[in-house]
Amino acid sequence: MDLYTSIRHMITRLDERGLRYAVIGGIAMAMRGVQRATFDLDFLLMLEDMDAAREILTQEGFDCVFQSENVSHFQKLGSSLPRVDVLHAFRGPSLSMLQRAEKLPLGDSCLVPVLITEDLIGLKIQAAHNDPKRELGDWNDIYRLVIETAHSNQALNWSLIADYLELFSYASKLNELKDLHERHQ
């Protein structure tokens, strides 16, 4: 099963159960126009729906290889299928992200909830803050999201981005991101 088929299958299973989720990570970036290599499938999922999601993943042959208050990682051992990472939504910011998610087409007939660009940027800011070894790659992803948004003649909610930057002590980067967006319009 290829990545595209795996994603569609997983989305169908989540939708059948009425779970509240959005695609995040590299797949979401690709759906927002920024291509990058990715080897996992990332979701933001309502914490209350986690038991049902775990049941679905277990039925699909995935094992939970890590779980914390904030995240669960699932792997299908001995398979080429991607790892499935689930970020648990239960705090105000992540619940707001789920509410703002937009349904985007995946192929011909599948609509998938995907975080808006500003929230993808917010998650990347958090990741850069939390893991200095990933900081360069995460900031590169942020720049690419800003540039793609500019190339698509889309506005960004700078107030929301400013909130994320301030929350993780990167407030000084706001003007740099605004300038980057303006230069690429």
Structure confidence by residue, pLDDT tens digits, 37-96: 767 889 999 999 999 999 999 998 899 999 999 999 999 888 777 789 999 999 999 999
- How far is 131 from 152, CA to CA, in rounded Å? 30
pTM of the full predicted structure?
0.94
Query: Looking at residue 1, what is its pLDDT?
Result: 55
pLDDT one-digit tens code per residue, 87-125 = 999 999 999 999 999 999 987 778 999 999 999 999 999
Instruction: Considering the domain delimited by 1-115, tell me its CATH architecture.
Output: 2-Layer Sandwich (3.30)
Query: Looking at residue 2, what is its pLDDT?
Result: 67
What is the average pLDDT value for the chain, to the nearest integer?
93
Enumerate the domain spans of the chain: 1-115, 116-185
Q: Closest by alpha carbon to 124, among 112, 114, 136?
A: 136
